């Protein structure tokens, strides 16, 4: 730990460019950014008057939170903070003087939520140990300083808890990790998943392909959830070019098919081996990620389909009976990543 805790003396990501980060996020079709402002190691990426273990004590000396929030706002992106309430470096955390630690932690949170304009999201983390953070007061501080902000479920989680639990009415959504959440249209949720194999960058990491990310996005939206895709920057501050390229290609796909993702709800067909479905108004968007032999067969719905077509193409053959819906698309017209079929209904798809 002593070696790790002293690495900040060498931290100098000279190629960090918040504007470039925001442009990459925007080009990927993302609508918001969440910066890891404080992880469990206790290091702070902003100028803090509470704890000297912060970015101002490094050779870099620049307030990363300030630069990222400005860049996000300039690009029209919403901004959020990842914030670990625990601090593995602080001996008072969960110790005899935990109340003193909590006061410091809350003071850090006040800085983050007071000095960078509107903050849209607060992403607490948990480490599987007892949650001793004076949660009611911590929530109250956050809500008072940023009343329009949404907050995830992890401040309340402790020993034996799962990241899908909602233990407080102050939490707005839950957070499946490294897997797409199950279909749930009653409680808001957000899958958090890495583009690589772990949360931080490492040389020659195996990163997900564009097709894999599109599939994850479609299955998440089809489950009525949201996707938070983690990108770990390189030690010099840049987003690795391989990762930036995947994000660019996902953004290009969203430029064509975004109407089947943005502003939709999951269903009415549950995600399955074939893929998933989303809906908005009188339209169901079927995302076929894996075609069966022949046509795709889906469960029946109590609504009349008046037209079926490829989202950016020709009409497709639809056979609707009381027992099923069959969709036939010639192999030559199927996409290699996600064949999106728009089913137009006579009635509102949201009533299904």
CA distance 102 to 108: 10
Q: What is the pLDDT of residue 319?
A: 98
Residue 344 has pLDDT above 90, yes or no: yes
Same-domain pairing of 168 and 251: yes
Same-domain pairing of 303 and 254: no
Residue 322 has pLDDT above 90, yes or no: yes
Among candidate residues 235, 260, 285, the one where a domain is terminated = 260
Dihedral, CA of residue 273, residue 278, residue 279 and residue 280, to nearest 10 = -170
Same-domain pairing of 125 and 157: yes
Same-domain pairing of 57 and 142: yes
pLDDT band for position 3 (cuts 50, 70, 90): confident
Residue 90 has pLDDT above 80, yes or no: yes
Same-domain pairing of 248 and 270: no
Element (H, E) at 113: helix 98-114
* Residue 316: CATH number of its domain: 2.60.40.1180
Q: What is the pLDDT of residues 203-243, one digit of tens each?
A: 999 999 999 999 999 999 999 999 999 999 999 999 999 99
Among candidate residues 208, 232, 260, the one where a domain is terminated = 260
Q: What is the pLDDT of residues 286-305, one digit of tens each?
A: 999 999 999 999 999 999 99
CA distance 122 to 170: 12
For the chain, the domain total comes to 2
CA distance 324 to 255: 32
* DSSP classification of residue 260: G
What is the average pLDDT across 87-100?
97
| Domain extent for 61 | 2-260
Same-domain pairing of 242 and 342: no
Same-domain pairing of 231 and 337: no
Same-domain pairing of 7 and 138: yes
Number of H helices, E strands in the chain: 7, 14
Percent of the chain with pLDDT over 70: 100
Phi first, then psi, for residue 54 (nearest 5°) are -145, 175
Among candidate residues 260, 290, 321, the one where a domain is terminated = 260
Q: What is the pLDDT of residue 2?
A: 82
pTM of the model: 0.96
Dihedral, CA of residue 270, residue 275, residue 281 and residue 282, to nearest 10 = -90
Residue 1 has pLDDT above 80, yes or no: no
* Residue 55: CATH number of its domain: 3.20.20.80
Same-domain pairing of 125 and 186: yes
Same-domain pairing of 202 and 234: yes
Contact 285, 341 (CB under 8 A): yes
Same-domain pairing of 40 and 152: yes
Same-domain pairing of 224 and 206: yes
What is the average pLDDT across 330-337?
95
């Amino acid at each position: 730990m002593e070696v790790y805790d002293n690495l900040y003396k060498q931290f100098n990501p000279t190629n960090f460019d918040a504007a470039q980060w925001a442009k990459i996020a925007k080009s990927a079709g993302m609508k918001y950014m969440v910066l890891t402002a404080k992880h469990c190691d206790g290091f702070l990426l902003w100028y803090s008057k509470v704890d000297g273990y912060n970015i101002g004590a490094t050779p870099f000396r620049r307030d990363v939170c300030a630069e990222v929030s400005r860049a996000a706002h300039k690009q029209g992106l919403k901004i959020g903070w990842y914030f670990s309430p625990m601090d593995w470096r602080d001996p008072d955390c969960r110790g005899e003087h935990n109340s003193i630690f909590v006061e410091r932690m809350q003071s850090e949170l006040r800085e983050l939520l007071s000095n960078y304009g509107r903050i849209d999201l607060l992403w607490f983390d948990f480490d599987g140990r007892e949650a001793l953070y004076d949660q009611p007061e911590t929530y109250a501080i956050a809500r008072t300083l940023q009343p329009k902000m949404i907050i995830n479920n992890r401040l309340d989680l402790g020993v034996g808890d799962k990241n899908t639990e909602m233990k407080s009415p102050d939490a707005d959504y839950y957070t499946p990790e490294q897997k797409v959440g199950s279909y749930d249209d009653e409680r808001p949720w957000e899958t958090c998943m890495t583009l690589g194999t772990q949360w931080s960058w490492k040389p020659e990491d195996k990163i997900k392909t564009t097709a894999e990310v599109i599939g994850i996005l479609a299955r998440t939206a089809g489950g009525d959830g949201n996707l938070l895709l983690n990108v770990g920057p390189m030690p010099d501050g840049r987003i690795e070019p391989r990762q930036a390229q995947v994000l660019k290609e996902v953004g290009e796909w969203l430029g064509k098919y975004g109407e089947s993702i943005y502003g939709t709800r999951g269903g009415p067909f549950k995600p399955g081996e074939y893929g998933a479905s989303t809906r908005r108004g009188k339209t169901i968007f079927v995302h076929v990620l894996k075609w069966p032999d022949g046509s795709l067969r889906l469960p029946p719905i109590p609504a009349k389909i008046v037209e079926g077509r490829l989202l950016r193409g020709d009409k497709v053959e639809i056979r609707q009976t009381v027992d099923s819906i069959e969709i036939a698309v010639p192999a030559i017209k199927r996409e290699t990543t996600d064949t999106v079929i728009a089913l137009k209904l006579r009635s509102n798809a949201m009533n299904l």
